[in-house]
Amino acid sequence: MKKLLVIGAMVLGTMQSMAQNVAQTSAQDVQLATMQQTVQADDNDGNGLLPNVFNHLGVGVGIGVMNGLSFELATPATRFLALRAGYNFLPKLKMDVDFDTDFADLNSTVQNSPEFKDYQIPNEITVEGKLNMGTAHVLVDVYPFQLSSFRVTLGAYFGADKIIKVYNKNEGELMGVTRWNNDSQDLTKLVALRAMNGGKLDKVGFDMGDYFLEPDANGNLEASIKVKNFRPYLGVGFGRAVPRYSRVTCNFDLGVQFWGSPEVYLHGANGDEKLQSSDLSGEGSKAVEILSKVKVCPMMSLRIVGRIF
């Protein structure tokens, strides 16, 4: 009887020990699972130890100086990096100015002769200027401090090389000058008029220092300012492109595009000609020289961004 009691006590002790071990193991498993869930949750919020690669998507709409309205998508690459891509739309602003052609001598020569009616030109034309600053961009935000929204932004903007264009608004408005310049150099034409002028007729156009600008074959003139199509960008800002703790937040950016030295081109009868400051004089030379030194385009923008998921 005593042996049975001893054996029973031993069995009960063994079962109790096994139950304690099972309970301890279950508690450890629960604790480990809880820790894993916490790490995973923290990582999804961008605060954990693991990198969060492309696990969120954000969208932004903004307005800025020199880049107008902007639309972009963004995603985090790690806790310290985010990628952005978008498009910037600046309305193509236009301005009209009436310009005196100063071709009075030619008009006085031909206006009273029906045979010269094809050479008539207006004494004044309307010149239109257009600004074209639309660009696309790809940017990388670097967050040096995990708990701060301060960032350094690197990347590039892509756009048309002609950012400003000036031209005669009415197509072919200077066709009379084109015809005159062609026929005045043809010895078989304008014979009587040539004889009255000592056998020689001069071309008509615009004198710009060492440049003589005449309309192209379609009777048009154009001047443009060109920069690089590919423009590296460097800037700083505040705010995350993909919000961490809310669905919507604001971002602020301040930086510069490096678009190279702006160049002035004239388009006329000889195609595109690059205008050099050394070929001009007075205020025209100074203007071109100053323009060539503006190698960066300052930018400032404010955006509202939201996290889609």
Q: Where are the beta strands (DSSP E) in the chain?
A: 58-65, 68-76, 81-89, 94-100, 124-131, 135-142, 150-159, 162-168, 206-208, 211-213, 222-226, 230-238, 248-258, 263-268, 271-275, 296-307
Q: Enumerate helices (H) and strands (E) in the chain, giving the number of each.
A: 5, 16
pLDDT-above-70 percentage for the chain: 73
Cα–Cα–Cα angle for 296, 302, 303, rounded to 5 degrees: 120
DSSP 276: P
Mean pLDDT is lowest, of 66-80, 200-214, 233-247, 258-272, for 200-214
pLDDT, mean of residues 76-83: 92
**251's tokens:** 């971002």
Per-residue confidence (pLDDT) for residue 47, from 0 to 100:
43
Q: Give the pLDDT band (50/70/90) at residue 2.
A: very low
Whole-number Å distance between alpha carbons of 202 and 28: 100
Q: Give the pLDDT band (50/70/90) at residue 146.
A: confident
Per-residue confidence (pLDDT) for residue 297, from 0 to 100:
94
pLDDT, mean of residues 241-255: 93
pLDDT digits (tens, 9 = 90+) for 7-18: 444 544 554 555
Whole-number Å distance between alpha carbons of 126 and 53: 56
Per-residue confidence (pLDDT) for residue 44, from 0 to 100:
45
pLDDT, mean of residues 101-110: 61
Amino acid identity of residue 262, one-letter, is P
Minimal CA–CA distance to 304: which of 52, 69, 38, 104?
A: 69
Whole-number Å distance between alpha carbons of 253 and 149: 12
More confident residue, 26 or 270: 270
pLDDT digits (tens, 9 = 90+) for 32-72: 444 444 444 444 444 443 456 788 999 999 999 888 999 99
Per-residue confidence (pLDDT) for residue 205, from 0 to 100:
75
Whole-number Å distance between alpha carbons of 222 and 128: 10
List of residues 6+ apart from 211 with CB closer than 8 A: 266, 273, 275, 279, 280
pTM check: above 0.75: no
Q: Give the pLDDT band (50/70/90) at residue 278.
A: low
Per-residue confidence (pLDDT) for residue 209, from 0 to 100:
63
pLDDT digits (tens, 9 = 90+) for 168-200: 888 988 888 888 888 888 888 877 777 767 777
List of residues 6+ apart from 266 with CB closer than 8 A: 208, 211, 213, 221, 222, 223, 272, 273, 275
pLDDT-above-90 percentage for the chain: 35
Helix (H, G, I), strand (E, B) or coil at 112: coil
